[in-house]
Amino acid sequence: MTVIGASHIKRGTVCQDFSLSCELPDRRISVVCDGHGGADYFRSDRGSRFAAEAFTECMKDPDVISVLSAAATQKQQSGRIEQLIKSIIARWNKLVEWDIKEHPFSEDELSGISGKAQRRYETGERLQSAYGTTLIGVILTENFWLGLQIGDGKCVAVSKDGEFSQPIPWDEQCFLNVTTSICDENAAKEFRFCFERTLPSAVFIGSDGIDDCFATDERLYDFYRLTLRSFVQTNDQTAVSQLKDYLPTLSERGSGDDMSVGIIVNTDFVRQNPTAFEKSQQAPQNEVTP
Amino acid sequence: MANIYEGAVEVSRRTMTLFFMVDASGSMDGAKMGTLNSAIEEVIPEIRKISAENADAAIKIAVLEFSSGTRWITPAPMDAEDFTWSFLTADGLTEFGAACKQLNEKLSRKAFMSDVAGSFAPAIFLLSDGEPTDEYIGELSKLKENNWFKKAIKVAVAIGDDANRDVLAQFTDNKEAVLTVHTPEALTKMIRFVSVTASQIGSKSSGVGKGGVDEAANKQDEMIDKINEVKAAEPDDDGDLEW
């Protein structure tokens, strides 16, 4: 789910986040993308949509599960995941190229950007930068789950013991408002991932508009604990609508940014083990902020 | 049904810290320090207003004075809303290197930048009228390796002709980010201009891709553009010393 940020409403700018999720008989897929939003990235709202679509389409490929399941060694896993990443980037680039062909950059779009960007765009150099976006995507199957990420935002996994963690490694290049991006020349190398055969009880993926609302990771986890409690105490539809209804308030009180959250949750397990996720059940953990 | 999140979520607003780094050495005594104290005191309500009305980030203020040693006037960055200026007095040497060391220590998630995950890059405003009296080069070099410092808006005001503009330019990494003033009026004007503009630019959200279009475009460049506009509109005062 995605809601526009409070500061975007105030400034009259469009929502640059985009998210998608889908459930197939053998897999569940969720992806959130956060377009950069700076003046030079004037089509990042489309870029985030294309990235979400590219990820989802690649993950729907019938062969994905068999290819990844069959990887026997870590090297094989990494090799196959890297191929998958390349195919997501290629698909995104194709969507961007198609969009530029259909809708060339207008004078109006180019008028508000930096001189350097203007010169580059006018010479046709790396036009896809105008569509720059981050991406965090997850696929969960019966045998494994995979998380892919480029840029900021956080992927939080909750084990069946109720332990919260961030299994996708952080990238120190993402600092303050600077983030790696699917539009980078070396985007394939900048993607990070986790691949695990032990299934979590829940996975949350959030754009930086979400995690910038919280002083520490522990506060972010508290927020997601509430979401799990909402699934325990109500039905799926109500839990989702409660979260979506609250996100504009969270944006207003917190980061002001666009907000996207993707959730894959094993509702049966969570409802059968409601106390496992409450804070009192957890041993104290070191708080980590990148 | 009441929303489960209402009243149950501990939300933090993004913050941008404005650092005042003030030379309080003996040569600042008299009109220079008097003007500086009054000018900063007068600009604080305006910063409070920017903080209150800004949807992107709240502004915090931190103050470091340096002379024979250093002293944080604010033990931690304070909300602009709660901050009042404490009048500084001038005495002693100009231990600029010690000040760089102090700043480097505090520009860390383990220190002043710890409270909010979504902190913006700080704005650092250095005011000095003299020449460092300590071995500053090593400490300045270390400070320049600090990621927060690298991304910060950095502006210096050289008060009078005795200020070492080259050192201030090393600090800001850009000669254009050093302003020179010779009169109390000019100092007052520049303190107001830098404090307000740095607060406005620093607390504004901007999404930037690492290797996208224009990596060099950042808030420091935006600040320098504003400085150049002011310089073009109002060239440096004529150098008549009125301190």
Domain ranges of chain A: 2-281
Q: How many A-B residue pairs are in contact by the CB < 8 A criterion?
A: 159
What is the domain count for chain B? Answer: 1
Residue environment code for A64-81, b if the CB has 16+ CB neighbours within 10 A, otherwise e: bbeebeebeeeeebeebb
- Cβ neighbours, 10 Å, residue A246: 22
- At B150, list the tokens: 């690298």
Put simply, the answer to whether B12 touches A120 (Cβ < 8 Å) is no
B10 lies in some domain: no
Which of B9, B55, B56 minimises the CB distance to A226? B9
Query: For A2-281, which CATH superfamily applies?
Result: PPM-type phosphatase domain (3.60.40.10)
B7 lies in some domain: no
Interfacial A residues in 161-190 facing B (CB < 8 Å): 173-181, 183-186
Q: Does B2 touch chain A (CB under 8 A)?
A: no
Q: What angle do CA A139, A141, A144 make, to 5 degrees?
A: 90
Tell me the CATH number at B121. Answer: 3.40.50.410
Residue B137 is part of which domain span? 15-206+217-233
Put simply, the answer to whether B208 touches A254 (Cβ < 8 Å) is no
- Whole-angstrom Cα Rg for chain A: 19
Residue A249 binned pLDDT confidence (cut-offs 50, 70, 90): very high
**Which residue from B minimizes the CA distance to A185?**
B211
Q: CA B96 to CA B22: how far, in whole Å?
A: 10
Element spanning B82, H or E = none
What does the mean pLDDT of chain B come to? 88
B3 lies in some domain: no
Checking if the pLDDT of B138 tops 70, the result is yes
B164-176 pLDDT tens trace: 999 999 999 999 9
In this prediction, residues A1-17 reach a mean pLDDT of 91
Checking if the pLDDT of B211 tops 50, the result is no
A188-213 pLDDT tens trace: 999 999 999 999 999 999 999 999 89
Q: How far is CA B99 from CA A24, A83, B102, B133, in A?
A: 60, 50, 5, 12
Checking if the pLDDT of B207 tops 50, the result is yes
Residue with tokens 């699934």: A231
Put simply, the answer to whether B12 touches A214 (Cβ < 8 Å) is yes
Put simply, the answer to whether B5 touches A242 (Cβ < 8 Å) is yes
Q: What is the ipTM of this complex?
A: 0.79
- At A210, list the tokens: 């979400």
**Which residue from B minimizes the CA distance to A9?**
B55
B6 lies in some domain: no
Q: What's the confidence (pLDDT) of residue A278?
A: 85
A149-187 pLDDT tens trace: 999 999 999 999 999 999 999 988 888 778 899 999 999
List the single best residue of B1, B11, B221 to mutate versus A (max A Cβ within 10 A). B11
Residues in chain A: 290
B178-196 pLDDT tens trace: 999 998 889 999 999 999 9
* Low-confidence winner among A35-44, A51-60, B94-103 (lowest mean pLDDT): A35-44
Residue among B116, B48, B213 at smallest CA distance from A43:
B213
B40 touches B20 (CB < 8 A): yes
Put simply, the answer to whether A6 touches B206 (Cβ < 8 Å) is no
Q: What's the confidence (pLDDT) of residue B10?
A: 85
From start to end of chain A, where are the E strands? 2-3, 17-24, 27-34, 135-140, 145-150, 154-158, 164-165, 178-179, 192-196, 202-206, 259-265
